[in-house]
Amino acid sequence: MTDGSINGSGRVGVRRLRRLVSGIALAGLVLAVAPALEVGEGEVHLAAAATCPTTRPVQMVEANIKSGMTKSQTAADLAKVFLDRPDFVAFNEVAARADSVLAPKGYAIWRTPGRYTGANPVVWRTDRWNAVAQGTMYVSNQPGKTATQTTELGLRYANWVTLRSVDGCQRISVVSYHVAPKTTLTANLLLPSVKRLGALATSLAADGPVLLAGDLNRHYRSKEYPRSTLAAYGMTPTWDMTGTMLPTGDHQGATIDFIFVRNAAQFSVTKQVTRELNSDHDAVVANLRFDTRVAVPRTAVSFVRGHVVNLPVSRLSEGRRAVMGRIIKAVQLAPKGSTMLIGTARLADETLLKALVDAHRRGVNVRVVSWSAKRSFPEKALMQAIGMNTANRSWAIRRPYSKAGALPPSALVFSTSAGVKLLAIQVDQPLDYRMVERPGRGQVTLEEADFVRLRTGISRQIR
């Protein structure tokens, strides 16, 4: 679709505008209805149900590659990590290592670059799995360090990826985490950190099973091991599944590295071992069997603080539209009587257009302001469908950009969506179909201060 077709005029343009308004409820426009069936150029086709295997073996490796080791020590450890060409690898302490080192040929890697955000990437086999969505979430945000420390041990982030098998049959999410060790500054971070990981796992479980792998920094048999909290979020350690606990490094025989499974009923552990590394942690290797014949209820769609990025090079439309997909879910899950306020440099996505009109029709207060130089067809259609009178409960308007708002290219606030109050999303791209061509980032926050800041900025843009 070109700009000309979106902003076209004359009889053809009028007919298209009328079709968008009158036919906006047609099936097939909403991404969330059947995302796996969308097929674009070079995209993998969803396999027929009859060809899908009932079980699928996968290997998960957790590896803490201690920072500060020599290149040769690191290379030797990585050779052991990739010995069996695992499906997934969760790394810890690798912020300073290059992606090309951590993800050899045949693998892809995801992390948000940075000293803290990039410490725990996820790596996966590209001949078996395609990324659908990926993001980063903070686990703990306790700044400060002692006089002898060079790292703020309380700043911790988890990186996650949702993947679909290349045959289109299975979906799974993988999370790499590293919980802060117990120090005078971080002594109270364990339970809040586990709860945030549990909330992330619950959110990802809406798309299928979840694997979480990393360093919990608490011994499996210690009194501080948060067994009840983990169980409350449905997170089962593979040590429980095998009934065998193995020491995981040079920590006086302690087991502090874990692979957790959410929706554990769908998995069995066929083999679990540790591998001695130059690092002070052993690698944990679990061979799992994923059984699709075991039905496990999906969780409801939910939102957690963190961000998601779209994948312009993805072979799947879901991946290319990952950010827009999250936005559309938030619109679709806003209940009757709630209010959404949206400010964007340009609204030019017909799937989002339909979701907004549907929300208005079910009683949501939909309020949109665009500062595009020229109204797009979806903007015109939205204005015609919900009106432009700001005295009404729903409206769509266009205003010249105002620096007073201090807004990102797109900002959205929801009084309620998916059971969350004061949900805010900001995006570094306009809400445009061309977002699929760029690595857009959507930042989700549940903090009242962020909600108020964005709401105030959008309100200033409306004046």
Rounded to the nearest 5°, which phi and psi values hold at 101? -80, -40
**Domain 52-291 class?**
alpha beta
Residue 292, pLDDT above cutoff 70: yes
For range 301-317, the mean pLDDT: 88
- What is the mean predicted confidence (pLDDT) over 324-348? 96
Q: Is the pLDDT of residue 33 over 80?
A: no
Average pLDDT of span 329-334: 96
Decide if 137 contacts 160 (C-beta within 8 A). Answer: yes
Would you state the structure tokens that stand for residue 163, as one six-digit string? 């993947």
The CA distance from 319 to 364, in Å, is: 28
DSSP β-bridge partners for residue 57: 289
Give the pLDDT of residue 251: 82
Confidence of residue 8 (pLDDT cuts 50, 70, 90): very low
In 148-305 the beta strands, taken as DSSP E runs, fall at: 154-165, 171-178, 210-215, 235-237, 257-262, 267-275, 283-291
pTM comes to 0.84
What confidence score (pLDDT) does residue 445 get?
92
Q: Which uninterrupted H or E stretch holds 386?
A: helix 377-386
Q: What is the mean pLDDT of residues 337-349?
A: 97
Pairing state between β 210-215 and 257-262: antiparallel
Strands 171-178 and 431-432: unpaired
Output 295 or 107, whichever has higher pLDDT.
107
SS3 category, 145: coil
Question: Is 5 a residue whose pLDDT tops 50?
Answer: no
How far does CA 245 lie from the centroid of its chain? 31
Number of Cβ within a 10 Å radius of residue 112? 19
Q: Give the span between the Cα atoms of 177 and 121, in whole angstroms.
A: 8
Q: What is the pLDDT of residue 437?
A: 86
For the stretch 128-176, pLDDT in tens is 999 999 999 999 988 888 777 778 888 899 999 999 999 999 999 999 9
Instruction: Provide CATH code, domain 3-31+321-462.
Output: 3.30.870.10
Greater confidence, 184 or 379? 379
* Boundaries of every domain in the chain: 3-31+321-462, 52-291
